[in-house]
Structure 1
């Protein structure tokens, strides 16, 4: 059994994709220093985390049964230090946290949370929901997360509420075994988040020399508006989850829209920064009072207000021309991909045909 297990539990949109990919790229190099990243035959720990938190996730839960226990078995066969990392673990309930910690006994458990200021998390989380077929407007989303009793607010704070996540994951651990890694503000030196994460898990950054180019970048204002409208149309077409993941989330969003240039970045509405500062202060007070280990600058959790003369762009009122440009970029990418596929019965062109037929029928 590994002597020490670091559970990196998120939160989503805090550089977790980069961290996980760098751990995977340097898996063998880290093992030479007795640090294990036991992903097994899969590319990451998503299925193990999904098995623990038991979310439907577009029909993928059924394919994840037993994955958490398999991960634990790999850790039991390991020695030294093991690192578990996936952001959906942030949403685990108290019972699921207890299951995770108990299953890893008698190893010494440490919990690591990467945390970013709420002003950056709000637009990032809304865009992430769009990639999972949601259609709620940005304005309604922002208003609802400020009302704790709404369903949207509960699901948001379940994974993005720094204190809520830490309270669930740290209740069985002493403060020195709970680590908050703050995400640097824009302009920080390249790799600063990785260096902070390494300090939290006791790894020398030199042990993992291979850098990662994999990211989970946000899309722009017009691209977000286009995707929300597309989700409405696709719902009418009754597109299944697997097709949506392949055609929309991966091809259109990750490979095309997020990779495009000259995007106008989505930010928090200007009138919400007072609220964001109150949230940040409550996080700072809890973290300092709890005595947990902070890696990085705790003031990175404070939102940075935009310049007073900066024009805020509302995705709910995006310029039609910009939305049309985003839609055309998406259409070009879809046509190029369909043209590259030479087997219409099994590949993308068949899926495109099926979706187009459904839309025509409606």
Structure 2
């Protein structure tokens, strides 16, 4: 980037690829270290970028225009990190980039190996109100994976598979954005890698040293396998009561899942998933397609080689274990509400 040139690093996901970790680090350091280095993180907090992204995805203009205005007024590098922008249609991608006519825009996609992503995505969809079993989720995504859809032409697409691949079709996302701007992939390090390695890789894309940053203040907490089954059953009951998601999101996800049940994760087995042959084959084809598109990797393409996820098949968890998690969740939820009442 030449002196004085405006640059935007547009981080568009994909989901479950360390996006919450990166976003937390950005906003934890936006007022001090990043500002001192001339890097703008627009918005008061992560929710500000969420609202702006929803604007540009729909028909709204106010929040997106406000954020774009801050970026356009900044003389150096800015960074927007929002995974909702990853799977957008080309017309929306063009609308996003047209908001920054004088900027060098570098699109960044973080990506994690497919097998770890599958397990994490099922849990996240359950926390977002879905009721699919893990077995149904796996079957649907296998049947609707890129390259097989043509064989299913004319059949009703399975909702779980369609939803997963809309959010996780890395090649399609890279192709959409790559037709409009330079795209690079930052790979999520494999299990056992240093915790800050992903942040170091992202800093290299920002072109700033990774040292001196305050730690992330929040992460997108996961829960154990039994607790995921509790949330899935709760979703079914709330649906029957006429309260489908997103009704009660702050309580259901923000309190029960992310605080109460996440706190007991170490007491439960995790969701496990051995690498299926189709997962290994698809991951290899995906890397080949990305390199053929001319996409560069920060990290290593080997990081996207699927690995077994340690844990258990949720279908093997007995009812007593699920009941124990449900009672712990109920007790923790009530305890928090009672404390809040006592403090008010």
| TM-score > 0.5, shorter chain as reference | yes
Task: Choose from 155, 170, 176 the match for 1:162.
Answer: 170
Structure 1, unmatched stretches of 5+, are 55-60, 348-362
Q: Once the 2 structures are TM-superposed, how far is the Cα of residue 169 of structure 1 from its aligned partner?
A: 1.3
Gap change, CA 1:220 and 1:246, over 3 Å in 2: same
Task: Choose from 55, 65, 69 the match for 2:65.
Answer: 69
Equivalence map 1:69-218=2 (5 Å): 69-148=65-144, 149=149, 150=157, 151-173=159-181, 177-206=182-211, 209-218=213-222
Tell me how far apart the structure 2 counterparts of residues 157 and 273 of structure 1 sit (CA, whole Å).
17
Residues 1:223 and 2:227 aligned together: yes
Query: Counterpart in 1 of 2:152?
Result: none
The runs of at least 4 consecutive aligned structure 1 residues that moved more than 6 Å come to: none
Q: Once the 2 structures are TM-superposed, how far is the Cα of residue 41 of structure 1 from its aligned partner?
A: 6.5
Tell me how far apart the structure 2 counterparts of residues 111 and 39 of structure 1 sit (CA, whole Å).
19
Show CA shifts across 1:186-212 (max 9, x none): 110120000011112212112x52011
Query: Counterpart in 1 of 2:329?
Result: 330
Query: Counterpart in 2 of 1:38?
Result: 42
Gap change, CA 1:172 and 1:302, over 3 Å in 2: same
Query: Counterpart in 1 of 2:290?
Result: 287
User: Is the contact between residue 134 and residue 314 of structure 2 (CA under 8 Å) also seen in structure 1?
Assistant: yes
Gap change, CA 1:2 and 1:141, over 3 Å in 2: farther
Q: Once the 2 structures are TM-superposed, how far is the Cα of residue 301 of structure 1 from its aligned partner?
A: 0.2
Query: Counterpart in 2 of 1:356?
Result: none
Show CA shifts across 1:299-321 (max 9, x none): 01001136xxx7x6222342111
Q: Match of 1:331, SS? A: helix
User: Is the contact between residue 157 and residue 164 of structure 1 (CA under 8 Å) also seen in structure 2?
Assistant: no
Show CA shifts across 1:64-107 (max 9, x none): 75211111111111110000001111121111101001111121
Q: Once the 2 structures are TM-superposed, how far is the Cα of residue 341 of structure 1 from its aligned partner?
A: 3.1
Mean Cα displacement is larger for which, 275-284 or 213-222?
A: 213-222
Residues 1:316 and 2:315 aligned together: yes
Q: Match of 1:111, SS? A: strand
Structure 2, unmatched stretches of 5+, are 150-156
Q: Once the 2 structures are TM-superposed, how far is the Cα of residue 264 of structure 1 from its aligned partner?
A: 1.2
Residues 1:246 and 2:250 aligned together: yes
Q: Match of 2:102, SS? A: coil
Tell me how far apart the structure 2 counterparts of residues 92 and 247 of structure 1 sit (CA, whole Å).
29
Q: Once the 2 structures are TM-superposed, how far is the Cα of residue 242 of structure 1 from its aligned partner?
A: 6.0
Gap change, CA 1:81 and 1:318, over 3 Å in 2: same
Query: Counterpart in 2 of 1:232?
Result: 236
User: Is the contact between residue 179 and residue 295 of structure 1 (CA under 8 Å) also seen in structure 2?
Assistant: yes
Tell me how far apart the structure 1 counterparts of residues 332 and 136 of structure 2 sit (CA, whole Å).
31
Q: Once the 2 structures are TM-superposed, how far is the Cα of residue 153 of structure 1 from its aligned partner?
A: 2.1
Q: How many residues are aligned here?
A: 327
Query: Counterpart in 2 of 1:350?
Result: none
Q: Match of 2:106, SS? A: strand
Tell me how far apart the structure 2 counterparts of residues 274 and 241 of structure 1 sit (CA, whole Å).
34
Tell me how far apart the structure 2 counterparts of residues 238 and 47 of structure 1 sit (CA, whole Å).
26
Tell me how far apart the structure 2 counterparts of residues 13 and 49 of structure 1 sit (CA, whole Å).
18
Q: Once the 2 structures are TM-superposed, how far is the Cα of residue 298 of structure 1 from its aligned partner?
A: 1.0
Q: Once the 2 structures are TM-superposed, how far is the Cα of residue 42 of structure 1 from its aligned partner?
A: 6.2
Residues 1:263 and 2:268 aligned together: yes
Residues 1:25 and 2:24 aligned together: no
Q: Once the 2 structures are TM-superposed, how far is the Cα of residue 293 of structure 1 from its aligned partner?
A: 2.1
Tell me how far apart the structure 1 counterparts of residues 45 and 317 of structure 2 sit (CA, whole Å).
43
User: Is the contact between residue 27 and residue 46 of structure 2 (CA under 8 Å) also seen in structure 1?
Assistant: no
